Amino acid sequence: MTDTRIIDASDPSDQNGIVDLAVGLLVEGEVVALPTETVYGLGADALNADAVAKIFTAKERPKFDPLIVHVGSYEQIDEVANVPDELREVIDKLMKAHWPGPLTLVLPKKECVPDIVTSGLPAVAVRMSAHPLMKAIVRKLGRPIAAPSANRFGRISPTSASAVEKELAGRIPMIIDGGACREGLESTIIRPEISADAGKKGVLIHVLRSGPVTKEMLQRFGKVVRVKKNRSEDAPEAPGQLASHYAPVTPLRLLSKPSEFKPEPGKKYALLSYCGSEKAGFMDLHEWVAVEQLSPGNGKLAEAAVRFFYVLRLLDEIGADEIIAEPVSETGLGVAMMDKLRRASVR
């Protein structure tokens, strides 16, 4: 057991001291849980293989699941990735439009990136976080930070420091509490490629994981295609994207319509509702032991995204036998949420 210090970063005048604390641990080859705008990450010096190994131990993460490397500037992408000449223009445009922000780019890796970071793949996933603390910490460290979401493997991603504490207390030395994450869903992961099949722009954008940067936002950079290879028997292109992911401990079932719900006598069911609307037909269906709404009233997708992992975690802690999930509108940000609900669903 490690004593886990939780550092409150709510007062901006403490920022420099907190950055120094985190950087001090990272320099020593330790791991630190850090806030980002998407979800909390568990960071280590990306170029120190022994430090990165501690991430896998703390998370009980299998070594086949590679990590995202966080940089502090546009230029730093060239420290970890070999950006092919033909992709330079589109990468520059994507960075200008979405960095810092929730977009991860998969590119051929530089030799200095240890194999443990990429699970031996020839590619590295890179992003630049918009969170002021994360940005300041990467810059002060002067080296890229490898950081997966700060949850135990296969569990719900943490969007607050208290959620990280539940997942990793006793396993890591420090959690920097930077408040609630403003996006609430993990970054969109893409692999851009030059291709003759990609129409006028000639750029094919493979979406490896849907997230806050939506298909609609990516379309102006090239032809967007979703990578669907995610059954566990296949080798997925984004190896962490296994079918059974983001799962609460309580079984969860995503239903497309209320008539699919056949409760078993004596079982306790909780409802994950999209907007709490009775019109959807789920609210009145049953005496739910608990109901949580993603975006009460009018189903705003950005609000639902911010609350998504928080609400899943709440329902998981209720002690229900099963969580029934209502579908979310599958456009924009809803694509990422439906993807996660499908992966979490046991059906």
Which residues sit at the interface with Mg ion, rule CB under 5 A? 149
Q: At what angle do helices 15-27 and 132-141 cross, to 10 degrees?
A: 50
Q: Please report how close the Cβ of residue 131 comes to Mg ion at its closest, in angstroms.
A: 16
Nearer CB in complex with Mg ion: 149/250: 149
Residue 323 is a binding residue for ligand TXA (CB under 6 A): no
159, 187, 295, 345: which one contacts ligand TXA (CB under 6 A)? 187
Nearer CB in complex with Mg ion: 167/193: 167
Q: Please report how close the Cβ of residue 162 comes to ligand TXA at its closest, in angstroms.
A: 17
Residue 66 is a binding residue for ligand TXA (CB under 6 A): yes
Is residue 101 helix, strand or coil?
A: coil
Give CA 292 to chain center in angstroms. Answer: 21
25, 80, 87, 147: which one contacts ligand TXA (CB under 6 A)? 147
Residue 194 is a binding residue for ligand TXA (CB under 6 A): no
Q: Please report how close the Cβ of residue 62 comes to ligand TXA at its closest, in angstroms.
A: 10
Q: Please report how close the Cβ of residue 236 comes to Mg ion at its closest, in angstroms.
A: 14
Token representation of residue 333 = 């940000």
Q: Please report how close the Cβ of residue 123 comes to ligand TXA at its closest, in angstroms.
A: 4
- Asked if residues 188 and 210 have their Cβ atoms less than 8 Å apart, the reply is yes
Any residues with CB less than 8 A from the CB of 12 and at least 6 apart, and which?
none
- Asked if residues 105 and 190 have their Cβ atoms less than 8 Å apart, the reply is yes
Q: Site residues for ligand TXA, window 14-53 (CB under 6 A)?
A: 36, 38-39, 41
72, 100, 144, 148: which one contacts ligand TXA (CB under 6 A)? 148
104, 210, 214, 250: which one contacts ligand TXA (CB under 6 A)? 104
For residue 67, the partner it binds in ligand TXA, Mg ion, none, with Cβ less than 5 to 8 A by kind, is: ligand TXA
Nearer CB in complex with ligand TXA: 73/277: 73
Is residue 16 helix, strand or coil?
A: helix
Token representation of residue 242 = 């296994």
Cα dist from 65 to 54, 59, 154, 240, 339, whole Å: 14, 11, 11, 5, 19
Q: Please report how close the Cβ of residue 36 comes to Mg ion at its closest, in angstroms.
A: 12
Which residues in 155-183 are b (16+ Cβ under 10 Å) and which e? bbbbbbbbbbbbbbbebbbbbbbbeebbb
For residue 320, the partner it binds in ligand TXA, Mg ion, none, with Cβ less than 5 to 8 A by kind, is: none
Residue 238 is a binding residue for ligand TXA (CB under 6 A): yes
Nearer CB in complex with Mg ion: 48/149: 149
How far the first Cα of the chain sits from its last, in Å, is 37
Q: Please report how close the Cβ of residue 282 comes to ligand TXA at its closest, in angstroms.
A: 29
H helices present in the chain, as ranges: 15-27, 49-59, 77-80, 88-98, 115-118, 132-141, 161-168, 215-218, 301-316, 334-344
Residue 241 is a binding residue for ligand TXA (CB under 6 A): yes
For residue 41, the partner it binds in Mg ion, ligand TXA, none, with Cβ less than 5 to 8 A by kind, is: ligand TXA
Any residues with CB less than 8 A from the CB of 72 and at least 6 apart, and which?
128, 135, 138, 139, 141, 144
Q: Please report how close the Cβ of residue 268 comes to ligand TXA at its closest, in angstroms.
A: 30
> Looking at 45-53, 65-73, 216-224, 277-285, which segment touches ligand TXA (CB under 6 A)?
65-73
Q: Using CA atoms, how far apart are residues 52 and 46, in angstroms rounded to an integer?
A: 6
Residues of this chain that bind ligand TXA (CB under 6 A): 36, 38-39, 41, 65-68, 102, 104, 106, 118, 121, 123-125, 147-149, 186-187, 189, 208, 238-241
